[in-house]
Chain A
Amino acid sequence: MKIENAKAQMRKGVLEFCILSILSRGDAYASDIINELKKSELIVVEGTLYPLLTRQKNAGLLSYRWEESQQGPPRKYYELTDKGREVLQELTDSWNELVEAVNTLKTSVKNTAIKLTKDEGIN
């Protein structure tokens, strides 16, 4: 299994969560969200974002208003809705549980390994 595939799989689950998180810090344009995600290397191409934004908007998690812009056509200015905040909270809880579970698993594996070597060492 290629490494790139595994990474892509990990990213896929998380993008929607990240969009909601970014918006929870403040309202933003689509391009702002894109830049943040690019910085954290979570997306490579911008086009990934638009379908996700539209679907979340249609699901009632986001809303937007139009803002005029000097650099071109009017742009959508997104903000989180109450429903979006709820979903974000749930996803955050779920994420935390996941992280804790994985960390616990890693530590328990480590402890078991130390224990085994100790046992062998003492004897």
Chain B
Amino acid sequence: MKESIKVNLAGQLFDLDIDAYQHLKSYLDSLSLKFGSSPEEAEEIVADIEARIAELLMQRRTDIKQVINLDDVKEVTSQLGSAEEMDEGEQSMGNEDSSQEPGTSYSKGKKRFYRDTDNSVIAGVASGLAAYFNMDVIWVRLSFVGLVLINFILYTGPLVFNFGGVGLILYIVFWAIIPPANTTAQKLQMKGKAVNITNIQESVKEEFGKVKSNFKTMSDSKGYKNMQSGLSGFLNSFGEVLIAIIKFIGRFVGIVIIIALVITIVSVLAGGATLINFSWFNNWHLPDVEHLANFSIAGICLFLIIAIPIFALIIKLSKWIFGIKSRNRVAAGFAATIWVIALIAFIVMLASGINNNTFKNKHSKIERFSAPKENKLFVDVNTEYSGSSWIKRYQFFDHEFVYDDLRDHFLQHPKVSIYKTNSNDIKVEVIRSYNDVKVGRIDFPLSKRIKYNYRLEGNTLILDEYYVVDEAYIWRLPQVHIKIGIANSITTECSQRAHDLLNVNCSQQESRNKSFDTKRSKSIDSIATEEKEDILKELEKNI
């Protein structure tokens, strides 16, 4: 009893003996190779020849003899002629000497760069590289992994580079440039073997053998599992379950991140207003997601806008340099779409004023104090807030963002400027610049929406280190500017803290190493009438 293979030739079904199949396959492969220089024509020519082969084979098929054997194939292929014999109708290719061996080489061992998709873990990039440079695949794979890890260890540069870094980018570029070795001829070229009839036949046999043995190991392993001891069997299935869970979690987290990004993009495009309050994310204890999304959106868009064309250029150049002709329309269209989206998003963000400096509202509150004792003023900072354990800090390039996880507030350093005046008192002006945003369900007065306090204790002016804003201001954090006008006659000293944290510039007598005791007593209630009026005004507005 022999096995036979079902084959489709020009839409007709044939059963072939294994050796007949191999002979036919290597014949057709040699034809694709021969006409490989003009691929559009080649398809048609080979299709015509296949149709003719089908016609001839049908004549040899009868009720008695239903399976095509090797002799049939040999006769038909010799009637159609081998690849060289077909040349009698055209310009001679290469040698005129017609006494060549049947195993003529079309290309002698010229090594070409292909991806090896038969031996691939992800996309065959590593295997292809290994084949081209004649080294073990392991080393190539290790170096890719190494490149990826290096980036995780050295945290440098924009956020996006840390998702795998150089290794990932290189891999993707290779994936896009290097074409896969699909036909037998290409596979031979990848390994650097001469592409002639003998090698093609061998290669076909090898591929066929591999498929067979894969079938075998599959059926063997099932029987093998029954024989394994209970413990190792359990460990095996446990491991599989674990891997499945890890994969699932990984995909789940990935999907969450993608959804968060998409939502933020959508709400940016809808005009800068917060459609969604990110507090529902907090229930999942994933504050990192929302902050990542917010502060990196502009960065990601900019990166994409710059990177995608550069990528495309790199890929085009490399293809041209290495003479590779593969085209990947789907990937190109995908990249182009992403680029357009990034461009639009970025432009909208610019237009809606995320990165420029004009605020719609500006509010100023002034308070005056008479000159302190001895005409000496100390300026210090109240750092109580930053000791809380639920304060989180994020570094985005050179800007630090501070977040109160418990109350969902942002903390920012106010801008403080001190100047000399000709009056004889101390004038403290707090300027709040902000855009209208709905905070929660009730509109709070401004002083609560953008909270900032200071107090004068004795002759020490204690400024809060941070002003506090609700997270609703997330798209455009308000700014607070404190202007302190001090009479010429008053000498001013700033603590080291004030200098370090708030960048306070005391032009007179900067003392370097004094820190002042701040009594943790209740602050003196010094709300001036002006502030009360402001609060009333706000309430009136909102009714």
Contacts and interface: CB of A to CB of B under 8 A. Distances in A.
A15 B92 CA distance: 14
Given A45-B88, A48-B86, A54 B58 contact: no
Interface string B79-110: 11110011111111000101000000000000
B85 A47 contact: yes
B398 interface: no
B75 interface: no
B80 A76 contact: no
Interface in A51-80: 51-55, 58, 69, 71-76
Q: Which of A31, A50, A75 has the largest number of chain B CB atoms within 10 A?
A: A50
A12 B89 contact: yes
A51 B89 contact: yes
B241 interface: no
Contact of A45 (B9, B44, B48, B85): B85
A15 to B, nearest CB: 5
A49 B44 contact: no
A55 B54 contact: no
A44 B35 contact: no
B88 A72 contact: no
B187 to A, nearest CB: 24
B12 interface: yes
Given A54-B45, A54-B48, A73-B11, A44 B81 contact: yes
A52 B96 contact: no
Interface in B22-56: 35, 41, 44-45, 48-49, 51-52, 54-55
Contacts of A49: 89
Interface stretch (A3-11, A90-98, A106-114): A3-11
Interface residues of A, number: 31
A12 B89 CA distance: 5
A16 to B, nearest CB: 8
A86 interface: no
Q: How large is the interface on B (under 10, 10 to 19, 20 to 34, 35 or more residues)?
A: 20 to 34
A95 to B, nearest CB: 17
B10 interface: yes
Contacts of B92: 12
Given A51-B35, A73-B54, A58 B41 contact: yes
B98 A52 contact: no
A31 B41 contact: no
B89 A48 contact: yes
A100 interface: no
B90 to A, nearest CB: 6
A76 B49 CA distance: 12
Contacts of B79: 45-46
A58 B91 CA distance: 18
A36 B81 CA distance: 17
A51 B96 CA distance: 20
B45 A11 contact: no
A37 to B, nearest CB: 10
Nearest to B46: A50
Contacts of B82: 45, 47
Given A12-B90, A45-B86, A47-B86, A53 B51 contact: no
A51 B80 contact: no
Contacts of B51: 72-75
Nearest to B81: A45
A48 B48 contact: no
A12 B58 CA distance: 32
A98 B501 CA distance: 100
B219 interface: no
Given A12-B88, A47-B49, A55 B81 contact: no
Contact of B89 (A52, A71, A75): A52
A11 B96 contact: no
Contacts of B55: 31, 69, 71-73, 75
Nearest to A76: B48
Contact of A46 (B12, B35, B41, B52): B52
Contacts of A47: 49, 80-82, 85-86
A103 to B, nearest CB: 26
A33 to B, nearest CB: 12
B59 interface: yes
A8 B393 CA distance: 84
Given A54-B41, A73-B10, A43 B88 contact: yes
Contacts of A53: 48
A89 to B, nearest CB: 22
A14 B81 CA distance: 19
A30 interface: yes
Q: Which of A8, A51, A52 has the largest number of chain B CB atoms within 10 A?
A: A51
Contacts of A30: 48, 52
Contacts of B85: 44-45, 47-48
A77 B89 CA distance: 21
B98 A5 contact: yes
25 contacts: A5-B98, A12-B89, A12-B91, A16-B89, A30-B52, A43-B88, A44-B85, A45-B80, A45-B86, A47-B86, A48-B85, A48-B86, A50-B45, A50-B48, A52-B89, A54-B45, A71-B59, A72-B10, A72-B54, A72-B58, A73-B9, A73-B10, A73-B51, A73-B54, A73-B55
Interface of A: 2, 4-5, 8, 11-12, 15-16, 30-31, 43-55, 58, 69, 71-76
